[in-house]
Structure 1
Amino acid sequence: MDLSFTPEDIAFRQEVRTWLENDYPAELRGKFSRDEYSKEDFLLWQRTLFA
């Protein structure tokens, strides 16, 4: 099995990382690592993803 990444894979990974750095809601930062998401937090994340 070949687990190496293509240049397209690497570019997509960077695009996603950049998007998360710029668009991940500030009020959710830190909650993920503590598993503290509420229903409202989840809905905010869904609205952000599908905006």
Structure 2
Amino acid sequence: MELVWGNLKATELANLCPEHISEADTAAHNGLHRIDGGYDLCFNFLDHTGLRL
């Protein structure tokens, strides 16, 4: 979870200064869809934990 949050903060939420909370919610939602759509990215996060499937 920390890797997902860190990735969101480094991309979609980086330097974001929304006027309304809904803008931050939309940016976070878009970032989660980007991460979810990236097969390699998801498995790299899992691989980084050192746990075996």
Scaled to the shorter chain, the TM-score interval is 0.3 to 0.5
TM-score of the superposed pair, with normalisation by structure 2:
0.43
TM-score of the superposed pair, with normalisation by structure 1:
0.45
